[in-house]
Structure 1
Amino acid sequence: MFSKRFHKLFLVIFFSFSVFGCSEQANQKDDIFRITAIPDEDPTELARKAKPLVQYLSKIIGKKVVYYPVTDYASAVEALVNKKVEMAWFGGFTYIQAKIRSNGAVIPIIQRIEDQGFKSVFISSDSSINSLSDLKGKEVSFGSVSSTSGHLWPRSFLLKEGINPEKDFKRVAFSGAHDATIISVGSGKVQAGALNFKTWEKFVKKDMVPDGVKVFYTTPGYYNYNWTIHKDVPKQTREKIIEGFLELSQDTQIGKEILSLQQASGYIRTKDENYVGLEKAAKSADLLK
């Protein structure tokens, strides 16, 4: 009799602790808001740029915000789709990939003012290259395979010019990041490359452009980078984040710091419809599987 009572008591205590433990873990998870970003720059630089933003967002939503680094673009997409993070900094193309992978469970909510008219540039150190057609027979580098400004958009303009990179270039390379593309062109690993104009402008401003490297073609503008959030994040939290970004200005110390690090003059709301053109370009370039 005693052993049966003891056994029942043990089970009650065991399950009580189990439920409490699971509940505590869930509460701890709910108290943390995780973000990530596509690694379009050096990882150390991305972490540096994220630090003040993480602190700011934490105050805005009243939760601890953690930056979750990833090794490649695909990992950023999978992290948001599988809810390892709640929000991600995507290029337009990676947003489209995440939307498709998640069956529409992710939403673009905010972007820099500059991202509504973003541009890509083609650069070269070869004096014989002055137009897209001059790239035929040359070694050319894109950024990441999943990059909007370093691959999808530049490729779409090459295709419009009747240029098929795999058939018409001597070699197609992928540097993995925009700054790496500049370095590849400057070091002579490739004769030309495509990247986003923001990274190029940063290199120009800091006098870091390798000797002889120049821009020879700039694309028309398009919608690009945005912060994309998972639909499971409560609407109230979403709105707090959006308002927090919209309130950033040069008039406050934190606003000035974040805007400078993010290369932004300010932020505006965005929506899925803004990326229809990119999705069509991705399908035309056979980049959506």
Structure 2
Amino acid sequence: MTFSSRLSVSRRCFQTLLATSLLTLAGLSFAQQSAQVLRVSAIPDEAPTELQRKFKPLGSYLEKKLGMKIEFIPVTDYAASVEGLINKKLDMVWFGGFTFVQAKARSKDQVIPLVQREEDEKFKSVFITTHQDIRKLEDLKGKTFSFGSESSTSGHLMPRSYLLAAKINPDTDLKRIAFSGAHDATVAAVSGGKVDAGALNISVWEKLVAQNKVDTRQVHVFYTTPGYFDYNWSVRTDMPAELRKKISDAFLSLDAGKAEDKEILDLQRTARFIPTKADNYKAIEAAAHNAGLLK
């Protein structure tokens, strides 16, 4: 065999080996993509069992739309949801407005919101009490009071902001403040007489009332805040643009006119999801700075 013949054979062998290697790599890439898992979580603003119940149909829907496994990973507190996303232990998180702002700041703008419920454009907090002599915010002076989680938008940041606007400093003008950790826990603290009053998000309040889990003859709303931007589904900026679009499209295509979609939307307490952007939360960021809750 001549030198040129041997060279030709060597080239063909190399090409065959290269082609086999590329096919193997392609196979591995496809296998990895097929086995990819989207790790999802949510701020623990309600009981863990309730969060799981609300997410289950949504998770199944996303699996079908995205063609990948969805794993819901509960977290112990609001801070864990922030750290989980920015440290790449989570891929998508249901944040409140304040936790989104915290995640955005902690990650140096490497977290972006994709979608929010229509109601989250003008979300509200309610102040509740069992006392007939508490009729306005100013009546809270000298009383005991419960917020939700310290990192909650609707259970702490915005209620605190409106108290400050009413010339009430929660840390000095109230007899005692507590943090229940969740909106439903705040209702329990007020109705159980552990505190004179409390604040929580209007969505959870309305749900508990509709489910007859709170006696409105005993506990009543005495103040409702103006609207503000709140909850959203957020991801990191390093998520591939194609996947981000698929996720957004999946949420935006939910149709309350379809029975299976309506079940998902009802559990999320909305009629539809809409796009959102980081600029929507500038007022929340300013409120957090003014309240001394964001350095």
Question: Is the TM-score greater than 0.5?
Answer: yes
1:204-219 to 2 correspondences below 5 Å: 204-210=209-215, 211-219=217-225
CA distance in 1, matches of 2:242, 2:259: 26
Asked if residue 236 in structure 1 is aligned to residue 242 in structure 2, the reply is yes
Which position in structure 2 is the counterpart of 1:10? Answer: none
Asked whether the 8 Å contact 2:34–2:68 carries over to 1, the reply is no
Alpha-carbon distance change, 29 to 189 in structure 1, aligned in 2, over 3 angstroms: farther
CA distance in 2, matches of 1:121, 1:255: 29
Report the CA distance between 1:57 and its aligned residue. 0.9
Asked if residue 269 in structure 1 is aligned to residue 275 in structure 2, the reply is yes
Which position in structure 1 is the counterpart of 2:6? Answer: none
CA deviation profile, 1:26-62 (whole Å, cap 9, x unmatched): 9379711111000000000101111111111111111
Asked if residue 226 in structure 1 is aligned to residue 232 in structure 2, the reply is yes
1:57-206 to 2 correspondences below 5 Å: 57-206=62-211
- Greater shift, 202-211 or 69-78, is seen at 202-211
Alpha-carbon distance change, 243 to 180 in structure 1, aligned in 2, over 3 angstroms: same
What's the TM-score once normalised by structure 2's chain length?
0.88
Report the CA distance between 1:254 and its aligned residue. 2.4
Match of 2:263 among 257, 261, 265: 257
Q: Which runs of 5+ in 1 are unaligned?
A: 1-19
CA distance in 1, matches of 2:72, 2:286: 32
Which position in structure 1 is the counterpart of 2:252? Answer: 246
Q: Determine helix, strand or coil for the equivalent of 1:65.
A: strand
Report the CA distance between 1:230 and its aligned residue. 1.0
Aligned-residue sequence identity (percent) comes to 56
Asked whether the 8 Å contact 2:149–2:179 carries over to 1, the reply is yes
Structure of larger gyration radius: 2
Asked whether the 8 Å contact 2:35–2:69 carries over to 1, the reply is no
Report the CA distance between 1:161 and its aligned residue. 1.0
Q: Determine helix, strand or coil for the equivalent of 2:59.
A: helix
CA distance in 2, matches of 1:59, 1:227: 18
Kindly tell me the number of residue pairs found equivalent between the two proteins. Answer: 267
Superposed CA RMSD in Å reads: 1.6
CA distance in 1, matches of 2:138, 2:62: 46
Asked if residue 287 in structure 1 is aligned to residue 290 in structure 2, the reply is no
- Greater shift, 54-63 or 212-221, is seen at 54-63
What's the TM-score once normalised by structure 1's chain length?
0.90
CA deviation profile, 1:243-283 (whole Å, cap 9, x unmatched): 11111112223211110111011010000110000100000
Q: Determine helix, strand or coil for the equivalent of 2:284.
A: helix
